[in-house]
Amino acid sequence: MVADYNKGITSGLKDAIDYLYPEWSNKAAGIVSYGSTLGITAEQHLRLVLTVPKVATVGTQPGI
């Protein structure tokens, strides 16, 4: 999920969310990431992207 340079989600994932907008709309999602910096940053970016199709995400859990 983590892109090397911009610390965000990959373009393929963003395209999938945009293309399948009706299927993603008003659904729930859990996000799992790893990494102390890149994973958390990508997770936050994905949460922001998922607000457009109104996807409810599970609350943030502390990093281990």
Backbone angles phi, psi at 24, to 5 degrees: -85, -20
Radius of gyration of the chain (CA): 12
Domain boundaries, the chain: 11-57
Give the whole-angstrom CA distance, residue 39 versus residue 9.
Answer: 10
DSSP label of 40: H
DSSP label of 20: T
- Per-residue confidence (pLDDT) for residue 19, from 0 to 100: 92
Q: What is the value of pTM for the model shown?
A: 0.76
pLDDT digits (tens, 9 = 90+) for 6-60: 777 888 988 998 899 888 888 898 888 877 777 788 888 888 899 888 988 887 7
- Cβ atoms within 10 A of the Cβ of 58, count? 11
